[in-house]
Structure 1
């Protein structure tokens, strides 16, 4: 059919353009954030591209939803502005005739959002956490580059290595400034140092240096020389069975557990898919019901609706994880309410009564 083919072709063009723009914006924001984390020593600079890829995968579901929403709103606004909606209505294609072509165009995107929300995003979050954890568990001398001051993971130690040893397990001309838990500070300088590990953690053995220490009360200072001095620079890594964040847990693990936070995370993931469906149909209803609003006004209205919808979805997840509300009851009220509002809006606008009221004279 000419109507459906032309509509889907225009939707595809608008969706592609919106997706490129959204990916560019999201990629730029994530790149700036990742570079900031790398500069603070939270991310391995050598794994920056891999970390950024996982971050983009984690946001891809939301990007697809916004791109689809922008495509629907932009296409219908253009048809409204050029009076093509009136022409199609004259030919017998009402507002309900747009629902089926839009659904047939959007269902692959909805399926992709479902796969991303239920499978890919938790896996990407898990990979990001593992990259960050492995980097934080490395020895402090392994984490720094020669010739640069580097703060340790705990934030209480600053290290400097003039040049790296040939074996890669130590360095030369080492400077270590440490602040203990009781407030005392110490500064250690050494000609060379080597790393070694055991079941208790990672240790740094310094050779031919000096150690200056000041107590927490500032009374008295000590200066000592040493030929060999050993300090621990990293604790032993946690066991492999350490619990992960709920956002990084696979969906089947959340289904097997019965905690409130698990159900809240499941409701959030399912809600991402339902919100993509609701927002697409809401964009159709809002754009067709406001013919006098320009394209920018339609996009602004739907952007506001998107922000409110996702904020409510996130607030519901927080309330459910703390046991204040039942996650599935909240999801039914939120998504069911938006779906009923959208369908009612479409039905009211499709019925002849609004047109009769608009054309009635007092």
Structure 2
């Protein structure tokens, strides 16, 4: 059918353009944030591209939702602006006749949003957490770069090593400043040193150096020279503790749990999918010919509606986590209310205009 084919073709063009714009904006924001984290030592610079890919994957449900909503608004606004909507209405195609072709175009995007929100997104956040945790668990000597002063993981030690070519297991011109747990300070310098690992941890053996120490209640530094001195730079490896955020837990684990916080997270993920459906229907009902709003008035209204809708999802998740509301009760109230409002709006726009509205519209200016 000419009507459906032309509508779906224009929806596809609008969706592609909106998706490119949204991905560009999201990529730029995430790149700036990731570079900032890498400069602060929170992200491994060598895995920067992987971190960025996983971060974008976690934001794809929102990107696809906004791009699909913008495509519907842009297509209908163009039809109204060029008076093509009047032609379709004259041919007997009301606004509700646009619903089936739009739904047939949107359902693959909704399916992608569901897969990303329920399966891929949690997996991407889990991988990000594991990469970040492995990077933070490096020992102090692995943290430093040749010729640079580097703070240790606990913030109590500053190290400097001019490494040689022996795969980082030995070095020369070593400097260690240590703030001990009892409040004392110590400074150690050495000509050379090498690493040794055993069941007690990783130790750095220093050769031909000096050590100065000042206790917490004294003002005088005490120093001594040494030919051989050993300092522990990392504890013995322990079994990795699986630490997961709620947002990184698999959906099936949330479904099997009865914890209120986990059920709130599951309701939020399901809400993202329902939100994508409701926003498309709301875009159909809200887009109209309003010359006073300008060319982008409908789009601005829908972006505002998306922001309010998305923030309400976050508020509902927080309330459900705190036990103030039932997670699924809030989901039914919020999404059901938006769906009923949207359907009522569509039905109202299909009703014939009253006589007084027709007379005012036909009255001479």
Query: Which interval holds the TM-score relative to the shorter structure?
Result: over 0.9
Q: Is the 8 A contact 1:212 1:222 kept in 2?
A: yes
Q: CA RMSD, aligned part only?
A: 2.1
Q: Is the 8 A contact 2:185 2:215 kept in 1?
A: yes
Specify the alignment match of 1:118 in structure 2: 118
User: How many matched pairs?
Assistant: 361
Specify the alignment match of 2:306 in structure 1: 306
Offset from partner CA, 1:233-283 (integer Å, 9 cap, x none): 344555345331111111111112221111011011101111111111111
Q: Is the 8 A contact 2:214 2:221 kept in 1?
A: yes
Offset from partner CA, 1:115-174 (integer Å, 9 cap, x none): 000000110001101111111111222122212222222233222222344133243222
Give the secondary-structure state (helix, strand or coil) at the position aligned to 2:146: coil
CA gap 1:68/1:164 in 2 versus in 1, 3 angstroms: farther
Specify the alignment match of 1:187 in structure 2: 187
Q: Distance in 1 between matches of 2:295 and 2:140?
A: 55
Task: Summarize the alignment of residues 316-331 of structure 1 with structure 2, pairs less than 5 Å apart.
Answer: 316-331=316-331
TM-score (norm 1): 0.93
Matched, 1:358 2:357: yes
Q: Is the 8 A contact 1:174 1:191 kept in 2?
A: yes
CA gap 1:218/1:265 in 2 versus in 1, 3 angstroms: farther
Q: Is the 8 A contact 1:77 1:294 kept in 2?
A: no
CA gap 1:229/1:323 in 2 versus in 1, 3 angstroms: farther
Q: Is the 8 A contact 1:22 1:67 kept in 2?
A: yes
Task: Summarize the alignment of residues 206-245 of structure 1 with structure 2, pairs less than 5 Å apart.
Answer: 206-217=206-217, 219-236=219-236, 239-245=239-245
Q: Is the 8 A contact 2:15 2:67 kept in 1?
A: yes
Structure 1 residue 289, shift from structure 2 partner: 7.0
Give the secondary-structure state (helix, strand or coil) at the position aligned to 1:219: coil
Q: Distance in 1 between matches of 2:74 and 2:238?
A: 51
Q: Distance in 2 between matches of 1:195 and 1:159?
A: 14
Specify the alignment match of 1:130 in structure 2: 130
CA gap 1:16/1:258 in 2 versus in 1, 3 angstroms: same
Structure 1 residue 288, shift from structure 2 partner: 2.6
CA gap 1:141/1:347 in 2 versus in 1, 3 angstroms: same
Matched, 1:288 2:291: no
5+ residue gaps, structure 2: none
Q: Is the 8 A contact 1:186 1:214 kept in 2?
A: yes
Structure 1 residue 347, shift from structure 2 partner: 1.0
Q: Is the 8 A contact 2:191 2:208 kept in 1?
A: yes
Give the secondary-structure state (helix, strand or coil) at the position aligned to 1:341: helix
Specify the alignment match of 2:260 in structure 1: 260
Q: Is the 8 A contact 2:163 2:170 kept in 1?
A: no
CA gap 1:268/1:195 in 2 versus in 1, 3 angstroms: farther
Offset from partner CA, 1:295-326 (integer Å, 9 cap, x none): 32222111111111111111111121122221
CA gap 1:216/1:133 in 2 versus in 1, 3 angstroms: same
Q: Is the 8 A contact 2:288 2:298 kept in 1?
A: no
Specify the alignment match of 2:2 in structure 1: 2
Offset from partner CA, 1:207-248 (integer Å, 9 cap, x none): 332223333455332223333333333445553453311111
Give the secondary-structure state (helix, strand or coil) at the position aligned to 2:287: helix
Q: Distance in 2 between matches of 1:333 and 1:193?
A: 66
Q: Is the 8 A contact 1:137 1:234 kept in 2?
A: no
CA gap 1:209/1:350 in 2 versus in 1, 3 angstroms: farther
Structure 1 residue 205, shift from structure 2 partner: 3.1
Q: Which moved more, 1:265-274 or 1:186-195?
A: 186-195
Matched, 1:345 2:329: no
Q: Distance in 2 between matches of 1:231 and 1:263?
A: 48
